[in-house]
């Protein structure tokens, strides 16, 4: 089967891409609403894009009704956010936080999630997070006619839970992916767990 993207609607393109660009890491973003409450939302159009400077990218579309997502407005106005990597035990809460709430209503409060201060950030992180990046806004690029916002965040600091830190066979500090137990996004309402870990040496 060949799909000509010149003949499909934006919605069809979205569903096709999300079912084939898999698995995708999930960024669980904390930002501050205009009223001072904490917004929490997941994004699977997300990845690292640079290490010098250290940049991450999330892609934020628009809500039903054509208004910008709260996360985009919050980051645009207050210039910072905290990005969590979602672990398996957080899957249900992460999924619930994707609901469309009225602007200014806090998913953190609604779901009864706990937060704690994050060093290097004025915003908190989720208590149960294994990994949390303190980020400040680097740039926003708008693409398409909707438009879609590509938010670039510069990593200012990183929290890693001690339980996921170990040593490699040479005694060097290593972050243990299997202990983070991250969840990946597939198409529609499907997710994938970490599963078997494979390794291959890079050719010289």
pLDDT tens track for 5-61: 999 998 899 999 999 999 999 999 999 999 999 999 999 999 999 999 999 999 998
pLDDT at 152: 98
Q: What is the pLDDT of residue 197?
A: 82
Do 182 and 87 touch, CB atoms closer than 8 A? yes
pLDDT band at 199 (very low <50, low <70, confident <90, very high): confident
- Res. 66: pLDDT tops 80: no
Mean pLDDT score, 59-83: 90
Q: How confident is the model at residue 123 (pLDDT cuts 50, 70, 90)?
A: very high
User: How confident is the model over 70-99, as a mean pLDDT?
Assistant: 97
- Distance (Å, whole) CA 18 – CA 12: 10
Report the pLDDT averaged over residues 151-174.
95
d(CA 118, CA 181): 21
List Cβ neighbours of 111 (8 Å cut-off, separation of 6 or more): 40, 93, 96, 97
Determine the pLDDT at residue 6.
94
Using the predicted structure, report yes or no on whether residue 92 has a pLDDT greater than 80: yes
* CATH no. for 25-187: 2.30.110.10
Q: Domain ranges in the chain?
A: 25-187
From residue 192, how far is each of 46, 133, 170, 185 by CA, in Å?
A: 16, 22, 31, 6
pTM score, two decimals? 0.94
* Band of residue 153 on the pLDDT scale cut at 50, 70, 90: very high
Sheet holding 184-185, edge to edge: 24-25, 184-185, 191-192
Spatial separation of the C-alpha atoms in residues 163 and 180, rounded to whole Å: 9
Residue 143 pLDDT class (50, 70, 90 cuts): very high
Give pLDDT, residue 63. 73
- Nearest-5° Cα angle at 58, 186 to 135: 130
């Amino acid at each position: 089967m060949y799909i000509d993207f010149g003949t499909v609607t934006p919605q069809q393109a979205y569903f096709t891409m999300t079912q084939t660009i898999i698995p995708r890491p999930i960024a669980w973003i904390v930002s501050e609403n205009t009223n001072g409450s904490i917004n929490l939302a997941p994004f699977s159009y997300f990845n690292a894009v640079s290490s010098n400077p250290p940049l991450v990218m999330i892609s934020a579309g628009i809500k039903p009704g054509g208004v910008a997502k709260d996360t985009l407005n919050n980051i645009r106005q207050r210039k910072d956010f905290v990005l969590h990597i979602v672990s398996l035990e957080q899957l249900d809460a992460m999924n619930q936080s994707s609901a469309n709430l009225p602007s200014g209503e806090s998913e953190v409060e609604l779901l009864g999630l706990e937060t704690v201060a994050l060093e290097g950030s004025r915003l908190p992180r989720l208590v149960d997070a294994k990994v949390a990046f303190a980020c400040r806004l680097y740039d926003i690029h708008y693409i398409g006619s909707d438009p879609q916002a590509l938010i670039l965040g510069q990593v200012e600091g990183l929290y890693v839970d001690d339980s996921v830190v170990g040593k490699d066979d040479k005694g060097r500090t290593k972050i243990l992916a299997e202990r983070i137990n991250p969840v990946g996004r597939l198409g529609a309402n499907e997710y994938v767990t970490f599963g078997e870990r494979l390794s291959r040496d890079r050719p010289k």
